[in-house]
A and B are shown apart, each in its own frame.
Chain A
Amino acid sequence: MGLAVLLLAIAFFLYRAAAPALHKLGWSFVYSSVWDPVQDIFGALPVVYGTVVSSFIAIIIATPLSIGVALFLTEIAPRRVGRVVGFLIEMLAAIPSVVYGLWGIFVLAPWLRTTVEPGLKTALGFLPFFQGPAYGVGMMAAGIILAIMITPTISSISREIFSAIPQPQREAALGLGATRWEMMRLAVLRSSKRGIAGAVILGLGRALGETMAVTMVIGNRHEISASFFAPSTTMASIIANEYSEATSDIHIAALVEVGLLLFAVTFIINSLARLFVSRSGNR
């Protein structure tokens, strides 16, 4: 029972700590795009933009990958292989965020800067997303790291959903002369759309709130830029990055307000995911 009280307490204390910013900044907090602690101007739009776009990149990469992994584990891999690969995928989830961040700074970002981003620029440079200098550190690095981190989440839930589908459904498809892939589409994917949606939403929830790894590779710049190569910032990373250095009360309150917003968003997203996943017969 304490847990529900705890949850309310979290909301209450965040609200109280954010109150000065809420009163002083009002709605401009949400639509203003200037974040300047020196002049006490705080607009969260760039932060929200960075959060949404980096999570979006992550979802775009992680969704097909995770569903592929889950299908591989349940429908293709021999039992032993499936067990080992399944365990390794779970290990991906167990690696601490800060270790991903370290790896992101010294391995992923340099690779993006020297190889991937110049390549994308040549191939897709006509799109605004792939223009501008290749920093390595930036939105794209954050999106990729997030994709890696949420793949285990999405794939393990999808896997549970797929294994809950009765075997006779698969045999019915195969018995009709479906190929293996057609069987997966017909008997497996078709009937788990809802559950997959839930899994993806849950992954989104994780991506939105992920802090350390993102803070370390996103570059922390409060500007909205169309380019995925440019540095940006997210709700979680701005808190991690500025909180212990914030001196003015209003700066601290503004950061807590960002936290309150993040709390509300993840709360809603996770409730939504729970609705989807549990209704599809999964817990």
Chain B
Amino acid sequence: MSKILEVRELNAWFGATKAVKGIDLSFEGNTVTAIIGPSGCGKSTFIRCLNRLHEEVPDASAEGHVLLNGDDIYGKDIDPVAIRRKIGMVFQKPNPFPSLSVFDNVAIGLRLAGLRRGAMLKEIVEKSLHLSALWDEVKDKLNAPGTSLSGGQQQRLCIARALAVEPSVLLMDEPTSALDPISTAKIEELVTELKKTVTIVIVTHNMQQAARISDSTAFFLLGDMVEYGETSKIFTAPKDARTERYITGRFG
């Protein structure tokens, strides 16, 4: 398998506080990688560096290299706007645009990118809604506001919105933390399905979730990556004592 995303010496700060400390990590194509760790360990900051969203926070900065198919997205002439289309993101709380309909929420990324042709737009929106397993539930209310859906549906709508622009990597920042168990199960199922088309990096505070859906897992602590490996190994035979203490629930 090929390495689609490679992180080298990545550091990130909030003002003078270092939140991510020299991370090296690569992600293989069509896999799910889970990033786990206690809150405040820098895992969210880390994935927000992968699409250069971190630097949009006031006083925040990042430094290092992230190679997408070999090209450094932190390179000199790279525009973060173009990067974010290739690396999609789903957030902690569902955040569909309240002023847009279900259809427009999915179409907006395409429209921004300049796609005006109605037929093609329709086709991609429908495809994305199928991919996010939402089509059957919303096909009759495509014109209803995006925020009229239930929480779990909203989150899948956000996934469809991210998928519509055909990203090669999908970043998910604790996508189920605001959802009930049934919606969570649906999203987890979806993640396993989606890895056929995109590479997924998912941050989660829920270790069972990481164990259920990911191929590899990275454990973060205080901005450092303590351990990385195949998920089955991390959860059954962690090498580091801190990892073991965390997954057995002794701190965090």
Q: Does B85 lie within 8 Å of A177, measured CB to CB?
A: yes
Q: Does A168 lie within 8 Å of B95, measured CB to CB?
A: yes
User: Within 8 Å of chain B (Cβ to Cβ): is A187?
Assistant: yes
Instruction: Determine chain A's interface SS by DSSP, over half rule.
Output: helix
Report the minimum CB–CB distance from B143 to chain A (whole Å): 16
Known A-B contacts A176-B112, A176-B165, A177-B82; the reply to A171 vs B97 at CB < 8 A is no
Q: Does B98 lie within 8 Å of A174, measured CB to CB?
A: no
CA distance A173 to B96 in the complex (A): 10
Known A-B contacts A179-B81, A182-B112, A190-B99; the reply to A174 vs B91 at CB < 8 A is no
In the complex, which residue of chain B has the Cβ closest to the Cβ of A189?
A: B99
Q: Does A78 lie within 8 Å of B58, measured CB to CB?
A: yes
User: Within 8 Å of chain B (Cβ to Cβ): is A169?
Assistant: yes
Report the minimum CB–CB distance from B169 to chain A (whole Å): 12
User: Within 8 Å of chain A (Cβ to Cβ): is B65?
Assistant: no
Residues in B with CB closer than 8 Å to A26 are: none
Residues in A with CB closer than 8 Å to B109 are: 176-177
Residues in B with CB closer than 8 Å to A172 are: 91, 95-97, 158, 161
Report the minimum CB–CB distance from A258 to chain B (whole Å): 42
Q: Does B81 lie within 8 Å of A168, measured CB to CB?
A: no
Known A-B contacts A79-B58, A179-B81; the reply to A169 vs B165 at CB < 8 A is no
Residues in B with CB closer than 8 Å to A177 are: 81-86, 109, 112-113, 165
Q: Does B91 lie within 8 Å of A171, measured CB to CB?
A: yes
Query: B-facing mask of A159-175, CB < 8 A → 1, else 0?
Result: 00000001011111111
User: Within 8 Å of chain A (Cβ to Cβ): is B175?
Assistant: no
Q: Does A178 lie within 8 Å of B112, measured CB to CB?
A: yes
Size category of the binding interface on chain A: 20 to 34
CA distance A57 to B83 in the complex (A): 43
Report the minimum CB–CB distance from B16 to chain A (whole Å): 15
Q: Does A176 lie within 8 Å of B95, measured CB to CB?
A: no
Q: Does A169 lie within 8 Å of B84, measured CB to CB?
A: no
Known A-B contacts A79-B58, A177-B112; the reply to A171 vs B95 at CB < 8 A is yes
> Which listed residue, A169, A174, A176, touches B56 by the CB 8 Å rule?
A174
How many cross-chain pairs have Cβ atoms below 8 Å apart between A and B? 69
Q: Does B97 lie within 8 Å of A169, measured CB to CB?
A: yes
Q: Does B97 lie within 8 Å of A190, measured CB to CB?
A: yes
For chain A, residues 162 to 206, give those with C-beta under 8 angstroms from any C-beta of chain B. 166, 168-179, 182, 186-187, 190-191, 193
User: Within 8 Å of chain A (Cβ to Cβ): is B108?
Assistant: yes
Q: Does A176 lie within 8 Å of B93, measured CB to CB?
A: no
Residues in A with CB closer than 8 Å to B96 are: 172
Q: Does A171 lie within 8 Å of B56, measured CB to CB?
A: yes
Most B C-beta atoms less than 10 A away, residue of A78, A166, A176, A190: A176
CA distance A237 to B109 in the complex (A): 52
CA distance A166 to B86 in the complex (A): 24
Report the minimum CB–CB distance from B210 to chain A (whole Å): 22
User: Within 8 Å of chain A (Cβ to Cβ): is B88?
Assistant: yes
Report the minimum CB–CB distance from B168 to chain A (whole Å): 13
In the complex, which residue of chain A has the Cβ closest to the Cβ of B161?
A: A176
In the complex, which residue of chain B has the Cβ closest to the Cβ of A166?
A: B95
For chain B, residues 85 to 113, give those with C-beta under 8 angstroms from any C-beta of chain A. 85-86, 88-89, 91-93, 95-100, 108-109, 112-113
Residues in B with CB closer than 8 Å to A178 are: 81, 84, 112
Q: Does A176 lie within 8 Å of B108, measured CB to CB?
A: yes
Q: Does B56 lie within 8 Å of A168, measured CB to CB?
A: no
Report the minimum CB–CB distance from A176 to chain B (whole Å): 4
In the complex, which residue of chain B has the Cβ closest to the Cβ of A169?
A: B95
Q: Does A176 lie within 8 Å of B84, measured CB to CB?
A: yes
Residues in A with CB closer than 8 Å to B95 are: 166, 168-169, 171-172
Residues in A with CB closer than 8 Å to B113 are: 177
In the complex, which residue of chain A has the Cβ closest to the Cβ of B86?
A: A177
Q: Does A186 lie within 8 Å of B56, measured CB to CB?
A: no
> Which listed residue, B58, B97, B162, touches A175 by the CB 8 Å rule?
B162
User: Within 8 Å of chain A (Cβ to Cβ): is B190?
Assistant: no
User: Within 8 Å of chain A (Cβ to Cβ): is B33?
Assistant: no
User: Within 8 Å of chain A (Cβ to Cβ): is B53?
Assistant: yes
Report the minimum CB–CB distance from B82 to chain A (whole Å): 7
Residues in B with CB closer than 8 Å to A187 are: 97
Q: Does A174 lie within 8 Å of B85, measured CB to CB?
A: no
Query: Can you sample 6 A-B contacts with CB below 8 Å?
Result: A169-B98, A171-B91, A172-B91, A175-B89, A176-B84, A193-B99
* Nearest 7 interchain pairs by C-beta: A177-B85, A175-B89, A168-B95, A176-B109, A177-B84, A190-B99, A172-B95
Residues of chain A touching chain B, judged by Cβ–Cβ distance below 8 Å, are 78-79, 166, 168-179, 182, 186-187, 190-191, 193
Q: A168-B91, A176-B161 are in contact. List 18 more A-B contacts (CB 8 A).
A: A79-B58, A79-B59, A166-B95, A168-B92, A168-B93, A172-B158, A172-B161, A174-B56, A175-B51, A175-B53, A175-B162, A176-B109, A177-B109, A178-B81, A178-B84, A179-B81, A186-B112, A191-B99
